[in-house]
Chain A
Amino acid sequence: MSGPRPTSVLHRVVALVCRVAASPVFWGLLGWLLLVLRYASEVVHPRYGG
């Protein structure tokens, strides 16, 4: 008998995490999010000459 092999929830979660971790879109958007947050915190609490 052929057909898709049944996969557990854990397998699917691990596969999803691996797919996300291998995605440049995820890392790129995460980077921009961090930059925006950092920039916003600099505006609120300037560290240099504020």
Chain B
Amino acid sequence: MILGLEFTLLAYLVLAALFALLRRRGETPALAFLVVANVLLLWLANPALLLYLALQTLWVLLLYLALRDGRRSPQWAWLAFAGLVPLNLVDLAPNAVAMLEPWQRTAWEGVFWSLGASFFVVKSFVMLREGLSGALRPGWPALASLSFLPSFSAGPICGGLPWAPGHLARGVGARVLKDSFLRVGWGAAALYILAPRLKRLGASLVGTPWGDTADMYLNFVALFLDFSGYTAMALAMAALFGAQLPENFDRPYLATSVREFWRRWHISLSTFIGQYLFKPLVRRTGSRWLGVTLAFMATGLWHEVSWRYLAWGVAHGLAMAASLRHWPAWEALKARMPPPVVTMFCWWLTMSFVASVSYLVLKAPR
């Protein structure tokens, strides 16, 4: 069974129409219907993955029941991340089939499912914290958010609130339809056409120092098109159901510092890091630079338990820590240079840093 882009788009258009009809009877039957449809599609795509997701959901529900009376610290919610352990031991890829990937049926499928499952774990943690804070009760909105296939493999990271009654838009008007149409068009083209072409172009240049450098920058642009294209489609499809998922990108290629980059790139992850890792770690350690370095190291290991992602976390953490400090010599140098030159230099430095760290992760052995 191949769940290609055409199939997924068509399926979710039909589901959105049926969802709108069912909402006339109330939000609960509509959300229950969506959950059943999502589960059915997941089962068609990868039964092994569905079993993993069911076990993780059950695990988080048990944690919620154990912690909801408030007698234990909400820090126990971190046990939700125990779900990442089997991900690093068991390969879900062999049972994977191509989904949302009609033209590039490659080894990327394995990454797709593993990444999707790790996103699922972090989303289930956010929902657990929402549940423990009283903002969300376990039920159909949480399950709809967790199982919504278009936002499965690359987020954005959010809890169940966008799907909760009162948060769902009352109806889907012409403007939402137009915006969704445009977003799906650009997102799909970026993900399926432009990103793979840039990667192929980069691979064809490898072999010389200039060629390797070009490959590094092309891979960075491809990563953005890949990731933001995917997110654009997820946001567009969720909007058809009245759910407003958080924006994940804000022109990150305009950033002139690593700090600004993380305000523009994968915003839902930055929000997660800030809320659940950075602030508590700063409170514990009393040091902002230590807090941000540890937070990014943990985020690296969330991507994958490996030396290469630990190195990724250390590099970004230290860069963020450096950007939190005031450097008098640099400020004095900047004051003597024309502002456009400073901006261009900072932009080039930021892009080169992020691109080279990503490239090292891409090329380094696990």
Contacts and interface: CB of A to CB of B under 8 A. Distances in A.
B290 to A, nearest CB: 40
Contact of B182 (A25, A35, A47, A48): A25
Looking at A24, A31, A32, A48, the one whose CB has the most chain B CB atoms below 10 A away is: A31
A31 B103 contact: no
Contacts of A31: 182, 184-190
A44 to B, nearest CB: 14
Interface in A22-47: 24-25, 27-32, 34-35, 38, 42, 47
Interface string B88-114: 000000000000000101000000000
B105 A48 contact: yes
Given A47-B103, A48-B105, A27 B193 contact: no
A35 B186 CA distance: 9
Q: Is the interface of A mostly helix, strand, loop or mixed?
A: helix
B183 A28 contact: yes
B13 to A, nearest CB: 15
B192 interface: yes
A30 B186 contact: yes
Interface residues on A, range: 10 to 19
A29 B300 CA distance: 36
A34 B193 contact: yes
Interface string B219-236: 000000000000000000
Contacts, number: 44
Contacts of A38: 103, 189, 192-193
Q: Is the interface of B mostly helix, strand, loop or mixed?
A: helix
B185 A35 contact: yes
Contacts of B188: 31, 35
B260 interface: no
Contacts of A25: 182
B189 A30 contact: yes
Contacts of A42: 103
B32 interface: no
B103 A35 contact: no
A32 B183 contact: no
A41 B186 CA distance: 18
A34 B105 CA distance: 19
Given A42-B103, A47-B103, A48-B105, A34 B194 contact: yes
Interface in B190-216: 190, 192-194
A35 B189 contact: yes
Nearest to B180: A28
A42 B192 CA distance: 13
B184 to A, nearest CB: 8
A7 B5 CA distance: 46
A38 B189 CA distance: 9
B186 A27 contact: yes
B103 A32 contact: no
A35 B189 CA distance: 6
Contacts of B181: 28, 32
Closest 7 CB pairs of A and B: A28-B182, A31-B189, A31-B185, A31-B186, A32-B185, A34-B189, A27-B186
Given A27-B185, A32-B185, A34-B194, 19 more contacts: A24-B179, A24-B183, A28-B183, A28-B186, A29-B182, A30-B185, A30-B189, A31-B182, A31-B184, A31-B186, A31-B188, A34-B189, A34-B193, A35-B185, A35-B188, A35-B189, A35-B192, A35-B193, A47-B103
5 contacts: A27-B185, A30-B189, A31-B190, A35-B189, A38-B193
Interface of B: 103, 105, 179, 181-190, 192-194
